[in-house]
Amino acid sequence: MAEPAFPWKVAWITGASGAICGEIARRLASAGVTVAATARPGGKLDELAASSERIKAFPADVLKPDELKASVAKIDSALGAIDLALLGAGMYVPFDIRNIDLDGFHRTMALNVDGVINGIAAVLPSMLARRHGHIAIMGSLFGYSGWPGNGSYGASKAAVINLAESLKLELQGTGVDVTIINPGFVDTPLNASYDPKKKLYAMSKERCARKIVEKLGRKPYEIAFPPQVEGFLKSVRSLPRAVSFPLIRWFTRKMGA
Ligand SMILES: NC(=O)c1ccc[n+]([C@@H]2O[C@H](COP(=O)([O-])OP(=O)(O)OC[C@H]3O[C@@H](n4cnc5c(N)ncnc54)[C@H](OP(=O)(O)O)[C@@H]3O)[C@@H](O)[C@H]2O)c1
C-alpha cells in the first residue's frame, strides 16, 4: 500500500539503524521524504542507507552534543533544512531493586534522556530561526506509570514525556511542533531480555512503524498505542495512590513479576 504524503521534505532520524526507527526511515523514504539517518557508524546504518537513494547516513553518537551539532550542519548543507527531527535512539536494561545495576541505570538515562536533549539542542535553533519544524520524541507507554522491574527504562521515558510537555508549551506560536510517541511492547532487540510472557499486546516493528507513520504527518501532540495498554496505564496514573499501587502490584503479580 502506498504511504501517505507527508508535510516534511527532510527528516532527521536518530536511532535509525534500529528496528523501529529504521522501519520508519524506510517508510518515509518510500513516500518521497529525504531521510538523514543517524546512529553510530556501522553495518546496520550503511545497510539502511543502501536500501534507498532517499536515505543518507550521517553517523554520530547522540551522547556527544558537538558531534550532533556538526551532523545537523552537514545535513542542512547536503540535504536542506531539517523539517522533522525524530529522536529515537534508546535502550532498555532490566532493573532489579535488590541488585541495582548502577551502570545500566546511568547508561539508560544518558541515552534515553541526554541523547534526546542533545538532539533537540542541535536542531532547534535553526527550526526557531526558520519558524518551522517538527520535533518528535520516542517515549514509551512505560513512562506513564512506575512498574516493578522497570526502574531504569520507565524513569528515563517519564523524563522525556515531561520534557515533551515543557517543549510543547514553550514552543507554542514559534512554528515548531512537538510530538511524543509512546508505543507499548514492540518485538525488537531492545527488549530481548524481557520475559516474553510479560510483554502485553506486543507488536511487530512493522506494525509499530506503520501506526507512527500514519499519524505523525498530522503533527498530533501525542501518539500512544495499543489502546488497551495506554488506557490501563493512564487510568491507573489518574487514580489515588492508595488505589493505584495495590492495583499495579496485583496486576504485575498476576503476570508473574
Ligand atoms: N522496542 C520496544 O518495545 C519499544 C517500545 C516503546 C518505545 N520504544 C523506543 O523506541 C526507540 C527505538 O527502539 P527499538 O526497539 O527500535 O531499539 P533498537 O532496535 O535497539 O535501536 C536502538 C537504536 O539506538 C541507537 N543508539 C544506541 N546508542 C546510540 C548512541 N550512543 N548514539 C547514536 N545512536 C545510538 C542504535 O544504533 P547503534 O547501536 O547502531 O548506534 C539503534 O539505532 C527507543 O527510544 C525505544 O526506547 C521501544
Q: What amino acid positions are annotated as catalytic residues?
A: 153
d(CA 165, CA 179): 9
Which residue's CA is the nearest one to ligand 1's atom 28? 89
Give the torsion sign (CA, 45, 49, 54, 60): positive
Alpha carbon of 114 to ligand 1 centroid (Å): 14
- Mutual angle of helices 115-130 and 151-170, in 10-degree steps: 10
Check pLDDT > 70 for residue 114: yes
The yes/no answer on whether domain 10-254 falls in CATH 1.10.3720.10 is no
- Residue 22: name the closest of 227, 172, 206, 183 by CA: 206
Check pLDDT > 70 for residue 216: yes
Give the gyration radius of the chain's Cα atoms. 18
* Average pLDDT score over residue span 186-200: 84
Query: What was the pLDDT predicted at 149?
Result: 87
Query: What was the pLDDT predicted at 196?
Result: 79
Contact 8, 36 (CB under 8 A): no
Q: How confident is the model at residue 191 (pLDDT cuts 50, 70, 90)?
A: confident
Q: How confident is the model at residue 132 (pLDDT cuts 50, 70, 90)?
A: very high
Check pLDDT > 60 for residue 257: no
Contact 166, 120 (CB under 8 A): no
Check pLDDT > 70 for residue 90: yes
Q: Specify the pTM.
A: 0.96
Longest dimension (CA), the chain: 55
Ligand 1 lining (C-beta closer than 6 Å): 14-21, 39-40, 42, 44-45, 61-63, 88-91, 111, 138, 140, 183, 185-186, 188-191
Which residue's CA is the nearest one to ligand 1's atom 31? 61
d(CA 74, CA 81): 10
Residue with cell 501525542: 222
Judge if the upstream peptide bond of residue 94 is cis by omega within 30 degrees of 0: no
Alpha carbon of 14 to ligand 1 centroid (Å): 8
Query: What was the pLDDT predicted at 2?
Result: 56
